[in-house]
Chains A and B, each alone.
Chain A
């Protein structure tokens, strides 16, 4: 495991910074982002170390570094360099060292408003650490100030708080502040705290760009409860308030249940007889219920094989999974066979939560309602799969689903979900272009763009918004800059319904041809033939064209949509 993964050693990261960069920069499929770091104190090494953590999350940053201690001036006065840089993110790196005047909040608020007006990009704002010297009146003010920052965050989209108040407390305030490092180099924090600081900032950024894990795979015996259920039976497992060990397992189950409620998909992967393992869920002290577990895999096969199957069943990539098992041998086997799966090195139930939170696998920087519903979607999907098995003909199955789709241009109330979908979809994604919320807002209002989102409902439930498409008008052609679809609705022919709509709109707008792009990545093989299937002709390696002058026959057979698109395109 790389030395940069949690739990990393701050000193080692500082020391091995160059070697780490060399190792991380060679990866494929890095997502490029432009990050402006504005200064309330020295940035220096912070840039290099933040870069390492972002690279480790698959994000390749390009940096703009503000002038020393001039975050206010950098934003408030005309700044051609920053404008040309076109930041995706502006990170304001302030700290308790910037609290000299009383009007800090007003000053910050002016800066945020100006950023919205001029740059309309994502903002990451540090909150403030408690006073280095524990002065009570200072601390009271700092707490008030932090409260105001959080209030602003809850009322403003695309604004995230980097919680260095918590981080510094966890690090130890006495070590976090180093007067010498401040007076010598004007580092607001101790040099040794830089990796911890950067790791936190990187967690926010990767969460914004959809790099979080989605699924927690759990072993059972000595992971969810104490003892081996196959030996001691459902009532003999150690779980509950009667013993310290039982209480610890119960606390872990409560934590897992809370993750489930936040939308993390749960799976079980255990070497057990399935019926015995399931019986354990009858123990009255179980916090988790069987129906909280989306995929239950208890058998005697290899765990790596089972985890691969779980990934297949959920239609997610192994890199989206976290595997918790108390057995080091099992963990090592999974790591070797499936290096993308996150396998924290933890043996003991009392350490599980700290590792999962510390690594930030499921760290949610701002939640969309869709995350919360994810488990409902997967539960409905399990029912669909059962139904599928009763049909011989796939078309009959699709017909039986009674699918309905709403296909419409982007509207403001859905932009959060659309942005999230765009940034986390890897498989059905033709161009892997990523957009910030502000960019999507602009595109939505720009007459040179045709946008479509699609929902999909069927008799088993709703899937919410599952696809988004962005086309740009260039003279008489429409260039498809982006098309993504959630893996929840693969093989439902929704792409045909969306394309029918797109063609209808283009006809009314007298568009001559559609230009499509397919940029191959390691993950988007699913749509390698999409352009061909839709009737595009290949012009060059990555460019495809669809001639609008030919007669068009609708491709969608199974999904009910609003036939009259006229009402909202003119």
Chain B
């Protein structure tokens, strides 16, 4: 839950929208402006905020917020 909350702050910063609420099911279809460049930015920001590094193969498989959260969880453990 902590990761999801922190991720929500990241999304609010990146999309400059304080009202964004994300859930594990949220995907790029649900958020305006979540294009490939925003995706790069989300990943780069997650890497610095959580102090982790995504692998090539991780990034290919990120379909929604849940995938991002799971990847972060795995990296942190």
Chain A residues with CB under 8 Å of chain B are 11, 14-19, 22, 44-45, 180-181, 183-185, 187, 191-192
Cβ of B55: which chain A residues have Cβ within 8 Å of it? 180
Closest chain B CB from A455 CB (angstroms): 51
Cβ of B48: which chain A residues have Cβ within 8 Å of it? 11, 192
**What are 20 residue pairs bridging A and B, where the CB atoms are less than 8 Å apart in the complex?**
A11-B44, A11-B49, A14-B44, A15-B14, A15-B41, A15-B45, A16-B13, A17-B14, A17-B41, A18-B15, A22-B16, A44-B37, A45-B41, A180-B54, A180-B55, A180-B56, A184-B40, A185-B40, A191-B41, A192-B48
| C-alpha gap A45/B40 in the complex (Å) | 9
Chain B: CB-nearest residue to A9: B48
Contact status B16-A15, CB under 8 Å: no
Chain A: CB-nearest residue to B9: A15
Cβ of A18: which chain B residues have Cβ within 8 Å of it? 14-16
Looking at the complex, which one of A11, A19, A22, A181 makes contact with B45 (CB distance below 8 Å)?
A11
Cβ of A17: which chain B residues have Cβ within 8 Å of it? 14, 41
Cβ of A192: which chain B residues have Cβ within 8 Å of it? 44, 48
Looking at the complex, which one of B10, B15, B59 makes contact with A184 (CB distance below 8 Å)?
B59
Chain A: CB-nearest residue to B14: A15
Contact status B41-A14, CB under 8 Å: yes
Q: Mark B14-39, 1 if CB is under 8 A from A, else 0.
A: 11100000000000000000001100
| C-alpha gap A246/B44 in the complex (Å) | 44
Cβ of B56: which chain A residues have Cβ within 8 Å of it? 180, 183-184
Chain B: CB-nearest residue to A190: B44
| C-alpha gap A102/B20 in the complex (Å) | 50
Contact status A14-B45, CB under 8 Å: yes
Cβ of B15: which chain A residues have Cβ within 8 Å of it? 18
| C-alpha gap A92/B10 in the complex (Å) | 32
Chain B: CB-nearest residue to A11: B48
Cβ of B44: which chain A residues have Cβ within 8 Å of it? 11, 14, 191-192
| C-alpha gap A18/B42 in the complex (Å) | 13
| C-alpha gap A134/B69 in the complex (Å) | 36
Contact status B59-A19, CB under 8 Å: no
Chain B residues with CB under 8 Å of chain A are 10, 13-16, 36-37, 40-41, 44-45, 48-49, 54-56, 59
Contact status B10-A15, CB under 8 Å: yes
Cβ of A19: which chain B residues have Cβ within 8 Å of it? 13, 16
| C-alpha gap A139/B13 in the complex (Å) | 40
Chain A: CB-nearest residue to B53: A180
Closest chain B CB from A264 CB (angstroms): 36
Closest chain A CB from B41 CB (angstroms): 6
Cβ of A45: which chain B residues have Cβ within 8 Å of it? 37, 40-41
Closest chain A CB from B72 CB (angstroms): 16
Cβ of B40: which chain A residues have Cβ within 8 Å of it? 44-45, 181, 184-185, 187, 191
* Residue of B14, B41, B49, B59 most packed against chain A (CB within 10 A): B41
* Residue of A44, A187, A191 most packed against chain B (CB within 10 A): A191
Closest chain B CB from A224 CB (angstroms): 39
| C-alpha gap A285/B40 in the complex (Å) | 54
Closest chain A CB from B3 CB (angstroms): 17
Cβ of A14: which chain B residues have Cβ within 8 Å of it? 41, 44-45
| C-alpha gap A22/B36 in the complex (Å) | 21
Among all A-B residue pairs, the 5 with the closest Cβ atoms:
A18-B16, A11-B48, A191-B44, A15-B13, A19-B16
Closest chain A CB from B40 CB (angstroms): 6
Closest chain A CB from B32 CB (angstroms): 12
| C-alpha gap A230/B40 in the complex (Å) | 57
Cβ of B13: which chain A residues have Cβ within 8 Å of it? 15-16, 19
Cβ of B59: which chain A residues have Cβ within 8 Å of it? 180, 184
| C-alpha gap A44/B56 in the complex (Å) | 19
Closest chain B CB from A351 CB (angstroms): 24
Cβ of A11: which chain B residues have Cβ within 8 Å of it? 44-45, 48-49
| C-alpha gap A243/B13 in the complex (Å) | 48
Cβ of A187: which chain B residues have Cβ within 8 Å of it? 40
Cβ of B10: which chain A residues have Cβ within 8 Å of it? 15
| C-alpha gap A485/B64 in the complex (Å) | 59
Cβ of A191: which chain B residues have Cβ within 8 Å of it? 40-41, 44
| C-alpha gap A250/B55 in the complex (Å) | 49
Cβ of A15: which chain B residues have Cβ within 8 Å of it? 10, 13-14, 41, 45
Cβ of A185: which chain B residues have Cβ within 8 Å of it? 36, 40
| C-alpha gap A385/B59 in the complex (Å) | 68
| C-alpha gap A19/B37 in the complex (Å) | 16
| C-alpha gap A134/B10 in the complex (Å) | 35
Chain A: CB-nearest residue to B41: A14
Closest chain A CB from B57 CB (angstroms): 10
Chain B: CB-nearest residue to A191: B44
| C-alpha gap A181/B56 in the complex (Å) | 9
Closest chain B CB from A30 CB (angstroms): 20
Cβ of B37: which chain A residues have Cβ within 8 Å of it? 44-45
Chain A: CB-nearest residue to B56: A180
